[in-house]
Chains A and B, each alone.
Chain A
């Protein structure tokens, strides 16, 4: 008799607990473990008024997409030859930023995304290329397997740009504000006309105790 009661009790409790488990939500809405890695495209734990990783990613992404929608750059039957490097990208702002980060990311992302709609000339590597060409012409090495050309590739367009800024600060509480403007222009290397322009602007404010290097 006692055994039967206990069994019924246990069965009842098990059924009740199953029901309770069944009623509980399936989503465990808790934060994951802290990590030293951060998403480069979002504001990190350390942030100031300068140009940061999320800005570089956003700027280059926006310019890349805009260039690929431009008929003169990405809609030609014969893909144009383009130089995108740091040579004519000037930083006139008060932000400490290596402008190679902008031009390198822009060129690499464009080269991957354009998939042959644009041809990129590595003018930065012209000396390296010329050295190899000289060795081939002198007979020190053979001609390679691809082809030989009369000269290195000339460019149709070259990217130029400028970073400028306007700073303001509130001396009563130390708050700093910086308006940054990043301009990009694609210049026709024969005529000197500007065939495409892009502008990115932002203003950030905060108590600037972040040091950029």
Chain B
């Protein structure tokens, strides 16, 4: 009797662990994650989301991922940031990307960030690049979302 109960409970736990959270769930980890600099984030949780299911390691569902990102100075002293995004699906994805620049104190600087539109072909990668307008040292936060 107890053995059967234990088996059912274990199966239930495994099934619960396999569940994915929908993009509008309030339990998605990114919703409450602290603000980080020099990073790429998906502000559209349909594209990528993680959560802690409390049973196993954190769950994750994604359509796009970040392969690489970074910054380098231009010849006039402004900053160029880039991100290489990878599409893991069989469909082309049209996205919008923007970069917010911050100074060493975390104060937003530079011109107002603007969404740039781009397409990532199915099962391929696409590079996003943008430039700052100021010559001061900067930290960046690249935001990615799907075009509405």
Give A residues with C-beta under 8 Å from B. 25-27, 29, 41-43, 54, 57-58, 61-62, 64-66, 68-71, 74-75, 109, 112-115, 117, 202
Contacts and interface: CB of A to CB of B under 8 A. Distances in A.
B148 A71 contact: no
B133 A65 contact: yes
A113 B26 contact: no
Contacts of B62: none
B24 A29 contact: yes
Contact of A109 (B27, B111, B117): B111
Given A29-B26, A65-B132, A41 B148 contact: no
Most chain B CB inside 10 Å of its own CB: which residue of A41, A66, A69, A74: A69
Nearest to B116: A58
B38 interface: no
B20 interface: no
Contact of A75 (B75, B96, B111, B133): B75
10 contacts: A26-B26, A29-B26, A42-B148, A62-B114, A62-B116, A65-B130, A68-B76, A69-B80, A113-B134, A202-B117
A112 B110 CA distance: 10
Interface in B108-148: 110-111, 114-117, 130-134, 147-148
Contact of B76 (A41, A58, A69, A109): A69
Given A27-B26, A27-B31, A58-B114, 10 more contacts: A42-B96, A43-B147, A65-B130, A65-B132, A68-B133, A69-B80, A70-B76, A109-B111, A113-B133, A202-B117
Interface residues of B, number: 25
Nearest to B145: A42
A74 B114 contact: no
A64 to B, nearest CB: 7
Interface in B4-35: 24, 26-27, 31-32
Contact of A43 (B74, B76, B148): B148
A69 B75 contact: yes
B117 A64 contact: no
A74 B111 contact: no
B39 interface: no
Contact of A54 (B74, B76, B80, B115): B115
B78 interface: yes
Given A54-B115, A58-B114, A65 B27 contact: no
Contacts of B134: 113, 115
Most chain A CB inside 10 Å of its own CB: which residue of B110, B117, B133: B133
Contacts of B74: 69
A61 B114 contact: yes
Contact of B111 (A54, A61, A117): A61
B131 A65 contact: yes
Given A58-B117, A75-B76, A113-B111, A69 B131 contact: yes
